[in-house]
Amino acid sequence: MSLEIILRSGLSTGTILLFAAIGEILTELSGVQNLGVEGMMLLGAMAAFKTSLLTGSPWLGLLAGIAAGGLLSLAHALVTIHFQADQVVSGLSLTFLGTGLALVLGEGLSGQNAPLIPNASIPLLSNIPILGRVFFSDLNVLVFLGYLLIPFSWWYINKTRPGMHLRAVGEKPAAADSLGINVYGVRYLYTFIGGCLAGLAGASISIAISPGWYSNLTTSGQGWIAVALVIFAQWNPLRAALGGYLFGMLRRFMLDLQGPMLIFGLRNPFFYNHNLVFFLQMMPFLLTIIALVWGSASARRQRIGAPGALAVPYIRGERR
């Protein structure tokens, strides 16, 4: 068990959560809640893996994964934005649809080896002592993409005009509409982008960070954890990234905890009784709940809430 390995593994697996969570943040900021992240991720993972396998190009696979997540999210957009269906139910059915479609189309993919997105080192940065070795050398290319996405999405949301429009549509759609912002268009766009990022998250599992197709175990609930992360992060990409990385590190730590015979000079219970590992496996999910309790308490203290019009359909000219 070494801190460096835990840290690096956290950066890798955290990247998956980071993509999905930032995507969901963008979607929710526009006032659309899409609970179908798990389904979009799984479909993205399948599409990426299958495309990479068939074409031999992991980059085409990556694109296919992104497109698959985005396309699926459009179904949610249509039903919730135009048909004003309940967003929770639509999101859930999206999870079923995505899962089902991924399992049907992914038949026979398990056990195969597809070409993968490679690891890389950043030329100059990786020479920095210690930090360079931990953060910038021999990590998957997508991890670096994640590094870029964090500041970019924060800047985009908070400092640019389209970002301001995005937040306006999520907070007060009627006011945004009267300023000439196309509320429906904005909601469609960010639901789609959220879907693309969920697809990217899925692809980064199957053809990059923990490669392979293991039917619905490929994502194993990470889509839901990403949704929880959004609430914990209070719709802030920086916090979402931090949460994602921490979560990744915890996962690795729990795995490593099973190895040694002694921990701090004490008999390691997880080594001697392997069944106790089930309790370790519960931890990510319990920690998510604890993070939510803590997150919602601190959100209330700082008066940060969900976007004002989250999960509320907008009907032009109708008073609410």
Instruction: Give the range of 90-98, 130-138, 146-154, 193-201 binding another protein by CB under 8 A.
Output: 90-98
Among 26, 29, 37, 102, binds another protein (CB under 8 A): 102
> Does residue number 84 form part of the binding site for another protein (CB under 8 A)?
yes
Q: Buried b vs exposed e over 187-209: b needs ≥16 C-beta within 10 Å? A: bbbbbbbbbbbbbbbbbbbbbbb
Q: Does 141 bind another protein (CB under 8 A)?
A: no
Check residue 93 for interaction with another protein (CB under 8 A). Answer: yes
Provide the 3-class DSSP secondary structure of residue 32.
coil
Concatenating the DSSP letter of every residue in 171-212 gives H-HHHHHHTT--HHHHHHHHHHHHHHHHHHHHHHIIIIIS-S
The least CB distance from residue 295 to another protein, in Å, is 9
The residue whose two tokens read 């949610």 is: 76
**Single residue of 125, 217, 282, 304 touching another protein by CB under 8 A:** 282
Residues of span 230-249 touching another protein by CB under 8 A: 231
Beta strands in the chain (DSSP E): 119-120, 139-140, 262-263, 266-267
Choose the binding region for another protein from 49-57, 146-154, 203-211, 277-285 (rule: CB under 8 A).
277-285
Using CB atoms within 10 Å of the CB of residue 156, give its burial: 0 to 12 exposed, 13 to 18 middle, 19+ buried. middle
Inter-residue contact 205 to 40 (CB < 8 Å):
no
Contact 206, 212 (CB under 8 A): yes
The size of the interface with another protein (CB under 8 A), counted in residues, is: 57
| Residue placing its CB nearer to another protein in the complex, 263 or 311 | 311
CA–CA dist 198, 195 (Å, integer): 5
Question: Which residues are paired to 140 by β-bridges?
Answer: 119
Contact between 90 and another protein per CB under 8 A: yes
Q: Which of 204/288 has CB closer to another protein?
A: 288
Name the residue nearer to another protein (CB basis): 29 or 231. Answer: 231
CB of 8 to another protein, least distance (A): 26
Please say whether the beta carbons of 194 and 34 come within 8 A. Answer: yes
Q: Does 83 bind another protein (CB under 8 A)?
A: yes
CB of 204 vs another protein, minimal distance in Å: 21
Q: Packing angle between helix 222-232 and helix 183-204, nearest 10 degrees?
A: 130
Q: Does 105 bind another protein (CB under 8 A)?
A: yes
Query: Footprint of another protein on this chain (CB under 8 A)?
Result: 35, 39, 75, 78-79, 82-86, 88-90, 92-107, 184, 215, 221, 224-225, 227-228, 231, 273, 275-276, 278-279, 281-282, 285-286, 288-289, 292-293, 296-297, 300, 315-318
